[in-house]
């Protein structure tokens, strides 16, 4: 498995990635909707063939950890039988697709059609595994803060298409039924224009130093226009965590601490949801799952049942204000126990009125948990932490080096005073 320790791909069921706690396997869940029966089965597989730890990624994917070379074939067989064994690019869809009346169209069938196209069309199989698509249906929960190589956004006449790195231009408008064809045209243009530079051009944004939007348009056979849209901001956590009305129904937003859920907790959660009449959970790119229910009352009752569990129901819950990667010993590249340390540091935000990430704790300079700058970033270095200045990223030069957790706590207490 030594070759699997090379970083740079999404760890699919067909091509897992080795980490400090074993193999990581990504599950292919198209559109982010997961029935309760399948969710409980995934939890049981995690216990039987992994280490019982399941992560929800920033792309809304579930990843099982701790899989071994001996248990991988059993897991792959189960994934194949349930349509979850695939290494095609991720499709991120609006998490309330099909149940949100504010949405301009229902993206579930569109996402499924695009997924089949990516799997069946030979040329598209050459897309890098990290390449992804996003479908924002214009509903109650926007995806403005979620990056994607090719993103589709609802508009008055259907949808428009934007490319990462080329946000000042767009393609469209198009009818929703055309979305898989437009996605394929733009993806094939990406593959053609990166030919000979595959090592340097792995994402759509990497095309900019080599080609402009006009060249991409010519290659794809599509016509682009200049965009006048304002920059899209994040969806506030207060809009998706806790009890939320949804037309005449409701949903409960349940945050996962640092994006992780233990398999036994997932089994308990699915049982509670079933007791309240729910049938599925919706995965999001916000380290949270949404539980559609028949009424606000049902959502409130489920929220009460979850009180006292590790789940996060409030936007200002201290742990939610910290982005933290798995850290050591889960990650080979980390030298600090990131999530244990982040849990201790969360006490600093007990009285905070903030609702967005305030602190990024990263086990190394890659910054997997939070790709954007944060007010403060701690980066693990030989068992201690370096401090990146305000608004910096993990790869930036530190302003302080070699702090213990206690010293980092004192620094942060003064910083956030």
Number of domains in the chain: 2
Q: Percent helix, strand and coil across the chain, each rounded to 5?
A: 35, 25, 40
Which of 190, 206, 226 delimits the end of a domain? 226
Q: Which residues of the chain have pLDDT under 70?
A: 1-9
Residues 137 and 16 in one domain: yes
Residues 322 and 220 in one domain: no
pLDDT given for residue 106 in this prediction = 94
Considering the domain boundaries, does residue 58 fall inside one?
A: yes
Considering the domain boundaries, does residue 235 fall inside one?
A: no
Considering the domain boundaries, does residue 240 fall inside one?
A: no
Residues 207 and 334 in one domain: no
Considering the domain boundaries, does residue 258 fall inside one?
A: no
Residues 189 and 330 in one domain: no
Residues 339 and 218 in one domain: no
pLDDT given for residue 7 in this prediction = 47
d(CA 96, CA 249): 12
CA distances from 392 to 42, 321, 363, 414 (A): 37, 16, 15, 18
pLDDT given for residue 208 in this prediction = 92
Residue 401 is part of which domain span? 318-415
Element holding 359 (H helix, E strand)? strand 359-362
Considering the domain boundaries, does residue 267 fall inside one?
A: no
Considering the domain boundaries, does residue 111 fall inside one?
A: yes
Residues 221 and 324 in one domain: no
pLDDT given for residue 13 in this prediction = 83
Which of 226, 255, 282 delimits the end of a domain? 226
Considering the domain boundaries, does residue 399 fall inside one?
A: yes
pLDDT given for residue 9 in this prediction = 57
Residues 67 and 209 in one domain: yes
Residue 323 near residue 286 (C-beta atoms within 8 A): no
Which of 226, 261, 290 delimits the end of a domain? 226
Tell me the CATH number at 41.
3.30.413.10
Residues 45 and 180 in one domain: yes
């Amino acid at each position: 498995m030594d070759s699997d320790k090379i970083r740079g791909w999404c760890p699919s069921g067909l091509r897992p990635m080795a980490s400090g706690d074993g193999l990581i396997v990504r599950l292919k869940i198209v559109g982010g909707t997961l029935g309760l029966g399948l969710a409980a089965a995934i939890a049981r597989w995690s216990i039987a063939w992994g280490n019982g730890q399941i992560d929800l990624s920033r792309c809304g994917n579930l990843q099982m950890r701790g899989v071994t070379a001996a248990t991988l074939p059993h897991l792959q067989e189960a994934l194949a039988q349930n349509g979850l064994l695939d290494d095609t690019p991720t499709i991120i869809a609006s998490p309330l697709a099909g149940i949100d009346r504010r949405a301009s169209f229902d993206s579930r069938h569109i996402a499924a059609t695009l997924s089949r196209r990516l799997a069946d069309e030979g040329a598209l199989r050459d897309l890098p595994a990290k390449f992804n698509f996003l479908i924002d249906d214009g509903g109650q929960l926007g995806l403005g803060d979620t990056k994607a190589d090719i993103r589709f956004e609802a508009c008055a006449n259907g949808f428009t298409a934007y490319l990462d790195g080329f946000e000042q231009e767009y393609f469209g408008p198009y009818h929703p039924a055309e979305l898989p064809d437009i996605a394929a045209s733009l993806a094939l243009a990406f593959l053609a224009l990166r030919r000979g530079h595959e090592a340097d051009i792995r994402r759509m944004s990497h095309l900019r130093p080599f080609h402009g939007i006009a060249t991409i348009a010519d290659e794809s056979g599509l016509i682009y226009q200049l965009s006048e849209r304002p920059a899209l901001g994040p969806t506030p956590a207060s809009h998706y965590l806790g009890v939320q009305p949804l037309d005449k129904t409701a949903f409960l937003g349940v945050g996962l601490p640092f994006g992780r859920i233990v398999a036994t907790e997932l089994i308990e959660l699915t049982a509670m949801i079933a007791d309240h009449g729910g049938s599925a959970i919706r995965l999001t790119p916000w380290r949270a799952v949404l539980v559609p229910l028949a009424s606000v009352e049902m959502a409130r009752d489920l929220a009460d049942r979850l009180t006292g569990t590790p789940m996060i129901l409030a936007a200002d819950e201290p742990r939610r204000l910290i982005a933290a990667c798995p850290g050591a010993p889960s990650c080979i590249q980390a030298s600090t126990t990131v999530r244990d340390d982040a849990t201790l540091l969360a006490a600093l935000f007990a009285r905070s009125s903030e609702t967005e990430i305030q602190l990024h704790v990263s086990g190394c300079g890659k910054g997997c948990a939070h790709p954007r700058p944060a007010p403060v970033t701690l980066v693990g270095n030989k068992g201690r932490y370096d401090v990146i200045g305000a608004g910096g990223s993990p790869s930036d030069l530190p302003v302080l080096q070699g702090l213990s957790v206690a010293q980092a706590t004192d620094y942060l207490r003064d910083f956030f005073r």
